[in-house]
């Protein structure tokens, strides 16, 4: 079964619910580690670590975080080694965060992204692999760049 983890704060709750329903319709097992009710919100700085650790451990390959702008969730999630969260506001950015950056978390803003757009973005995020639809020279460059970024990351986390 295909699995994905998702989470939001109060500002992203409506968008998260639309995306979660869509993913479920597509046959995904969706774990929601964020706000479960608009009346009992969890702040972004508590939701993002839970989801990031699930990606970091390998329990999930991809995740979605939603707050007001997507920025706060991305900042917090990116504090975890092996987590690459990118804030997206378009289908194009959702595709390129995977193809170019090999992002394993897409963040979105509930104040910015309408549910219909969020669904189109998640479709592109889950269907795109690293280096998809890129020129051969760019694929080679990005594969090398990924290794160089891993060296930087190793220097930060393995001191």
Cα dist from 133 to 142, 146, 154, whole Å: 13, 17, 29
- Is 33 tagged catalytic? no
Backbone φ and ψ of 113, nearest 5°: -105, 120
Residue whose tokens read 């504090």: 79
How many Å apart are CA 95 and CA 142, to the nearest integer?
15
For residue 61, give the 3-state DSSP assignment.
Answer: coil
Residue in 33, 67, 88, 97 annotated catalytic = 67
Q: Which residues are CB-neighbours of 121 under 8 A, at least 6 positions away? A: 88, 90, 91, 93, 94, 106, 108, 113
Q: Mapping DSSP to helix (H, G, I), strand (E, B) and coil, where does residue 156 land?
A: helix
Active site positions, annotated = 67
């Amino acid at each position: 079964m295909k699995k994905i983890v998702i989470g939001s704060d109060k500002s992203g709750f409506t968008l998260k619910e639309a995306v979660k329903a869509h993913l479920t319709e597509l046959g995904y097992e969706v774990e929601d580690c964020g706000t479960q009710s608009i009346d009992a919100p969890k702040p972004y700085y508590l939701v993002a670590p839970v989801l990031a650790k699930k990606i970091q451990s390998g329990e999930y390959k991809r995740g979605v975080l939603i707050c007001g702008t997507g920025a706060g969730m991305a900042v917090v999630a990116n504090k975890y080694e092996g987590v690459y969260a990118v804030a997206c506001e378009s289908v194009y950015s959702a595709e390129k965060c995977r193809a170019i950056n090999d992002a394993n978390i897409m963040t979105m803003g509930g104040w910015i992204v309408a549910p219909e757009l969020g669904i189109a973005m998640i479709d592109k995020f889950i269907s795109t692999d690293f280096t998809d639809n890129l020129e051969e020279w760019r694929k080679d460059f990005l594969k090398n760049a990924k290794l160089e970024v891993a060296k930087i990351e190793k220097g930060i986390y393995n001191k």
